[in-house]
């Protein structure tokens, strides 16, 4: 049984998709379909350009807004970057940090993940900190080592109080956008390991209260069995969050497990 302190959280990571108009259309539909889900938190993470407009649509909604990245300085001569105060201003409550695509394509390191996470917390944004191994790392039996380093590095120097405000996401790189979802057992094994690691870093109470999402080819037909695992507290959804019906179905199926 999952402790009730961990309210499941479903987040849609839209990645590099949707114009402003398309984003408004999608979130308007979602807003109609996702109502009265007191048992789960729901977040959408559009691209930067659509944040402010999507925020307007979500004014009276239970759906929360998130961004896909954040820079660690508040302002200044940092061409091309977007800061935590700017995200707050655009209506964000969450921000994804250290997604594997950022690690892979944009030179994200443990240190930069740490700085971004810290900046988010400083401004009252909830960071969704991602970790996960590549296929080669899994095949070399390095999964635990890799996620341990990502978590230790990403969260180095954080107090218990700060750690309690985080959401983590375990996203095996080989499962992202591939249609190859981790089995519930594979995912649970790493989630349990991460929670043990969190316990070592921040103590049992903090570890028990932290939500760990699974991400990687989550769909309406596999979310329920993932959610039934004791240490899986929701999902970070990519492809299937780009369609209102499929994301709403994921939220609904997750909520059904959550109320049981």
H or E element, residue 162: helix 160-163
Comparing CB distances to ligand PGA, the nearer of 103 and 206 is 103
Q: Output the smallest distance, CB 172 to ligand PGA, in A.
A: 10
Structure token digits, residue 212: 């760990």
Closest approach of ligand PGA to the CB of residue 42, in Å: 15
For ligand PGA, the closer CB: 107 or 157: 107
Q: In angstroms, give the least distance from the CB of 176 to ligand PGA.
A: 4
β-partners of residue 10 are 42, 235
Catalytic residue selected from 101, 108, 137, 171 = 171
C-beta of 237: minimal distance to ligand PGA in Å?
5
Is residue 99 among the annotated active site residues? Answer: yes
Cβ neighbours of residue 248 under 8 Å, at least 6 residues apart? 30, 33, 34
DSSP letter for 234, please. Answer: E
When the beta carbons of 154 and 238 are compared against ligand PGA, the nearer one is 238
Query: Does the annotation count 107 as an active-site position?
Result: no
Q: What is the DSSP string of 209-231?
A: H-EEEEESS--TTTHHHHHTSTT
Residue placing its CB nearer to ligand PGA in the complex, 187 or 202:
187
Compute CA distances 129 → 95, 148, 202, 233, whole Å. Answer: 8, 13, 16, 14
Give whichever of 37 and 214 is closer to ligand PGA, judged by the CB atom.
214
Strand partners, 13: 45
Please report how close the Cβ of residue 173 comes to ligand PGA at its closest, in angstroms.
9
Other CB atoms within a 10 A radius of the CB of residue 115 amount to: 17
> How far apart (Å, rounded) are the C-alpha atoms in residues 180 and 182?
7
Q: Which residues of the shown chain bind ligand PGA in the complex (CB under 6 A)?
A: 13, 171, 176-177, 215-218, 236-240
For residue 246, the Cα-to-chain-centroid distance in whole angstroms is 18
* Closest residue to ligand PGA, based on beta-carbon distance: 238
Residues belonging to the active site: 99, 171
């Amino acid at each position: 049984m999952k402790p009730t302190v961990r309210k499941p959280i479903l987040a849609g990571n839209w990645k590099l998709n949707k114009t402003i108009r398309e984003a408004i259309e999608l979130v308007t539909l979602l807003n109609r379909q996702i109502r009265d889900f007191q048992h789960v938190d729901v977040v959408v993470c559009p691209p930067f350009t659509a944040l402010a407009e999507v925020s307007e649509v979500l004014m009276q909604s239970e759906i929360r807004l998130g961004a896909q990245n954040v820079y660690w300085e508040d302002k200044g001569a940092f061409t091309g970057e977007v800061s935590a105060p700017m995200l707050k201003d655009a209506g964000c409550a969450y921000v994804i940090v250290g997604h594997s695509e950022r690690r892979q394509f944009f030179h994200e390191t443990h240190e930069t993940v740490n700085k971004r996470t810290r900046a988010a917390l400083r401004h009252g944004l909830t960071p969704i900190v991602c970790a996960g191994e590549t296929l080669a790392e899994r095949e070399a039996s390095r999964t635990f080592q890799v996620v341990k380093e990502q978590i230790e590095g990403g969260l180095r120097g954080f107090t218990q109080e700060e750690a309690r405000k985080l959401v983590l996401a375990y996203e095996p790189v080989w499962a992202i956008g591939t249609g190859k979802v981790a089995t519930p057992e594979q995912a649970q094994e790493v989630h349990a390991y991460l929670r043990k690691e969190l316990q070592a870093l921040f103590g049992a109470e903090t570890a028990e209260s932290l939500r760990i999402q699974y991400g990687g080819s989550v769909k309406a037909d596999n979310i329920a069995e993932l959610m039934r695992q004791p240490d899986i507290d929701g999902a970070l959804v990519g492809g299937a969050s780009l369609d209102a019906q499929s994301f709403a179905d994921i939220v609904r199926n997750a909520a059904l497990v959550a109320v049981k």
